[in-house]
Chains A and B, each alone.
Chain A
Amino acid sequence: GEEVAQTPKHLVRGEGQKAKLYCAPIKGHSYVFWYQQVLKNEFKFLISFQNENVFDETGMPKERFSAKCLPNSPCSLEIQATKLEDSAVYFCASSQYPPRASAYEQYFGPGTRLTVT
């Protein structure tokens, strides 16, 4: 598609429950990025993929967070045993070119608002 699609739009989980978020990048884009936005203005990079391979996972909390991008499937971000501080909007972005390329542009999806109660 021409836009990054994210589902669900909203997700409510009780503390300790699992949460799974999905992202379909723009067709033809090889790079996918996940960000966590808390308090409206702070973006935290989590992980990125080049096709199905992890490109950069320096921001990923490894204990409870995992992510995959499998061929012919939406990418996913999973949080095991959610905590209150995981409440945030999770954005997925895709790009055709890698971050070091001069033509690099990220296109963001509408986000998934996760509320942990």
Chain B
Amino acid sequence: GQQVMQIPQYQHVQEGEDFTTYCNSSTTLSNIQWYKQRPGGHPVFLIQLVKSGEVKKQKRLTFQFGEAKKNSSLHITATQTTDVGTYFCAGRQASGGSYIPTFGRGTSLIVHP
């Protein structure tokens, strides 16, 4: 079945440093979503990418969808302590399989003040 791998599992940064998490799928995706889960909280939808090579920005967050639609990344510029949490990608297979997106295991971001 479809697998969505996310790296790194953990990332420690000093406040002000940049952060990137990567998501790779074993199959071509029709779209990919990103979520943020604060410690003890629930996932919050951030964005959905649909087009090959798509780049979207939300303030300090930049989301990219690969040309082959098999990988994606989330980059945070100048991290702040409010960015702490686990970032999950969830990708839906382009053909066959379930309509339900498969979640990666997430990257936990720890920001040191």
Contact = CB atoms under 8 A, between A and B. Distances in A.
Interface of A: 33, 35, 40-43, 45, 48, 55-56, 58-59, 91, 93, 98-100, 102, 104-111
B88 A43 contact: yes
Given A99-B92, A106-B45, A109-B42, A41 B101 contact: no
Given A41-B86, A104-B48, A99 B103 contact: no
B48 to A, nearest CB: 7
A33 B99 CA distance: 12
Interface string B72-113: 000000000000001010101000001111110110100000
Contacts of B9: 41
Nearest to A109: B42
Contact of B105 (A41, A91, A99, A102): A41
Contacts of A108: 35, 42-45
B98 A58 contact: yes
A102 B92 CA distance: 11
B27 interface: no
B43 A91 contact: yes
B50 interface: yes
A48 B105 CA distance: 20
A55 B100 CA distance: 10
Given A43-B90, A102-B48, 18 more contacts: A35-B103, A43-B103, A45-B100, A45-B102, A48-B100, A56-B99, A56-B100, A91-B43, A93-B43, A98-B99, A99-B92, A99-B100, A100-B99, A105-B45, A108-B35, A108-B43, A108-B45, A110-B42
A99 B108 contact: no
A100 to B, nearest CB: 5
B98 A56 contact: yes
B93 to A, nearest CB: 10
Nearest to A106: B45
Contacts of B101: 99
Sort A-B residue pairs by CB-CB distance and give the 9 closest, nearest first: A43-B103, A99-B99, A108-B42, A41-B106, A108-B43, A105-B45, A41-B105, A45-B100, A58-B98
Contact of A102 (B31, B41, B42): B31
